[in-house]
Amino acid sequence: MRVVLAEDLFLLRDGLVRMLEAYGFEIAAAVESGPELARALDELEPDVAVVDVRLPPTHTDEGLQCALAARRARPGLPVLVLSQHVEQLYARELLADGNGAIGYLLKDRVFDAEQFIDAVRRVAAGGTAMDPQVIRQLLSRRSAGTTPLGRLTPREREVLELMAQGRSNAGIAAQLVVTERAIAKHTSNIFAKLGLEVSDDDNRRVLAVLAHLDRDR
């Protein structure tokens, strides 16, 4: 699987290259600026891009904008964005086209090799990998009381959080040490309480849940 990596900090970029290669990925390019990233995505057509949000020369959101432009030119291009801090706007921009194959992680996650590699693989396969902190902020921003979220049980909220991160029923069951049948029941209850259409497609249900959580922001 061919990866284009964009990270301006040399030590982190080098570490990510070594980690990805150790897990069997081929590094098509490892770049440090927005213009280099734009060229690499256009010319190399990688299987997945791992991109720092902030890149030279602007050090604002150049990496994200390059990735979004590449997805407009090549719909569905898998992109995993890395950010120093939680910025819900970045998550919304990534999710806007509804095509999936996107991820948004805090840079702290890259120090957990298994978690990071799992996210890269999920995104490359067309799925979604959202940072737990993004999900928690979306959940906490909505008041409990009279909102649909307030009708969820503590276990259903736990399942919702894992679902919104992009976990399958099997993955959620393994995380919570329960059966897949139990998780299927919880997810059905969640969709019913939130007024969402039930779906077995992991990516569609992630997008539906995130769209619901992000309403009326």
CATH code at position 16: 3.40.50.2300
**With helix as H, strand as E and coil as C, how does 68-136 read?**
HHHHHHCCCCCEEEEECCCCHHHHHHHHCCCCCCEEEEEHHHHHCHHHHHHHHHHHHCCCEEECHHHHH
Residues 110 and 158 in one domain: no
Residue 132: band (very low, low, confident or very high) from pLDDT cuts 50, 70, 90: confident
Residues 56 and 151 in one domain: no
Residues 28 and 75 in one domain: yes
Residues 140 and 209 in one domain: yes
Residue 216: band (very low, low, confident or very high) from pLDDT cuts 50, 70, 90: very low
Domain end marker among 80, 95, 130: 130
pLDDT value for 211: 65
Q: Give the number of domains in the chain.
A: 2
Residues 114 and 155 in one domain: no
Residues 122 and 177 in one domain: no
Residues 86 and 176 in one domain: no
Domain extent, residue 184, equals 135-213
Note the pLDDT tens digit of each residue in 58-82. 999 999 999 999 999 999 999 999 9
The average confidence (pLDDT) of the chain is 87
CATH assignment at residue 190:
1.10.10.10
Residues 150 and 201 in one domain: yes
Burial 49-66 (b: 16+ CB within 10 A, else e): bbbbbbbeeeeebbbbbb
Note the pLDDT tens digit of each residue in 21-42. 999 999 999 999 999 999 999 9
pLDDT value for 78: 96
pLDDT of 56 > 50? The answer is yes
Residues 125 and 146 in one domain: no
pLDDT of 148 > 80? The answer is no
